[in-house]
Amino acid sequence: MTETVTKKPPLAGIRVIELARVLAGPWAGQMLADLGADVIKVENPDGGDDTRQWGPPFVEGADGENLSAAYYHAANRGKRSVTADLKSAEGQDLVRRLVSTADVVIENFKLGGLVKYGLDYDSLRKVNPKLVYCSITGFGQNGPYASLAGYDYIVQGMSGFMSITGEPGGQPMKAGVAIADIFTGIYAVAAIEAALIHALKSGEGQLVDMALLDVQSAVLANQNMNYLVSGEAPTRLGNAHPNISPYEVVPTADGYLILAVGNDGQFRRLCTILGLETIASDERFATNKARVGNRGEVRRLVSTETLKWQKADLLKACEENAVPSGAINTIEEMFAHPQVQARGLRIDLADAAGTVIPGVRTPVVLSETPLRYIRPSPRLGEHQAEILAELAEREKGIVVKKASS
CATH code of 313's domain: 3.30.1540.10
Statement to judge: residues 349 and 320 lie in one domain: no
Choose the final residue of a domain: 330, 351, 386.
330
Q: Is the pLDDT of residue 73 over 60?
A: yes
Report the pLDDT value the prediction gives residue 1, as an integer from 0 to 100.
33
- Could you tell me the pLDDT band of residue 395, with boundaries at 50, 70 and 90? confident
Report the pLDDT value the prediction gives residue 404, as an integer from 0 to 100.
63
Tell me how many domains the chain contains: 2
In a domain, 232, yes or no: no
Report the pLDDT value the prediction gives residue 138, as an integer from 0 to 100.
96
Report the pLDDT value the prediction gives residue 401, as an integer from 0 to 100.
61
For 404, the enclosing helix (H) or strand (E) is: helix 384-404
The strand pairing partners of 209, in sequence order, are 135
Statement to judge: residues 314 and 262 lie in one domain: yes
Residue 402 burial by CB count (10 A; 0-12/13-18/19+): exposed, middle or buried? exposed
Statement to judge: residues 320 and 358 lie in one domain: no
* Alpha-carbon separation of residue 190 from 8, 141, 184 (angstroms): 20, 19, 10
What pLDDT, in 10s, does the model give residues 22-55?
A: 999 999 999 999 999 999 999 999 999 999 999 9
Instruction: Establish whether 348 is a catalytic residue.
Output: no
Report the pLDDT value the prediction gives residue 402, as an integer from 0 to 100.
65
Give per-residue burial for 375-391: e unless 16+ CB within 10 Å, then b: bbbbbbbbbbeebeebb
Report the pLDDT value the prediction gives residue 405, as an integer from 0 to 100.
57
- Could you tell me the pLDDT band of residue 4, with boundaries at 50, 70 and 90? very low
- Using CA atoms, how far apart are residues 268 and 277, in angstroms rounded to an integer? 7
| Cα dihedral: 213, 74, 163, 326 (round 10) | 140
* CATH value at residue 346: 3.40.50.10540
What value, to the nearest 5°, has the Cα angle with vertex 68 and ends 335 and 29?
A: 75
Report the pLDDT value the prediction gives residue 7, as an integer from 0 to 100.
87
Q: What does the pLDDT average to over 107-121?
A: 96
Report the pLDDT value the prediction gives residue 403, as an integer from 0 to 100.
63
- Could you tell me the pLDDT band of residue 399, with boundaries at 50, 70 and 90? low
What pLDDT, in 10s, does the model give residues 172-212?
A: 999 999 999 999 999 999 999 999 999 999 999 999 999 99
Report the pLDDT value the prediction gives residue 400, as an integer from 0 to 100.
60
For 168, the enclosing helix (H) or strand (E) is: none
3-class secondary-structure state, position 42: strand
Statement to judge: residues 152 and 51 lie in one domain: yes
3-class secondary-structure state, position 337: coil
Q: What does the pLDDT average to over 160-165?
A: 96
Statement to judge: residues 54 and 196 lie in one domain: yes
Choose the final residue of a domain: 330, 360, 375.
330
How does strand 58-60 pair with strand 66-69?
antiparallel
Query: Which residue in 38, 49, 103, 181 is the catalytic one?
Result: 181
In a domain, 166, yes or no: yes
Task: Please give the model's pTM, rounded to 2 decimal places.
Answer: 0.91
Statement to judge: residues 251 and 376 lie in one domain: no
- Using CA atoms, how far apart are residues 405 and 396, in angstroms rounded to an integer? 14
- Using CA atoms, how far apart are residues 402 and 405, in angstroms rounded to an integer? 5
What pLDDT, in 10s, does the model give residues 309-360?
A: 999 999 999 999 999 999 999 999 999 999 999 999 999 999 988 899 999 9
Residue 141 structural domain: 15-219+340-403
In a domain, 93, yes or no: yes
In a domain, 104, yes or no: yes
Statement to judge: residues 57 and 158 lie in one domain: yes
**Residue 4 dihedral angles phi and psi, to the nearest 5°:** -60, -40
Spatial strand order in the sheet of 325-327:
247-252, 255-260, 325-327
What pLDDT, in 10s, does the model give residues 246-275?
A: 999 999 999 999 999 999 999 999 999 999
Choose the final residue of a domain: 330, 357, 387.
330
3-class secondary-structure state, position 142: coil
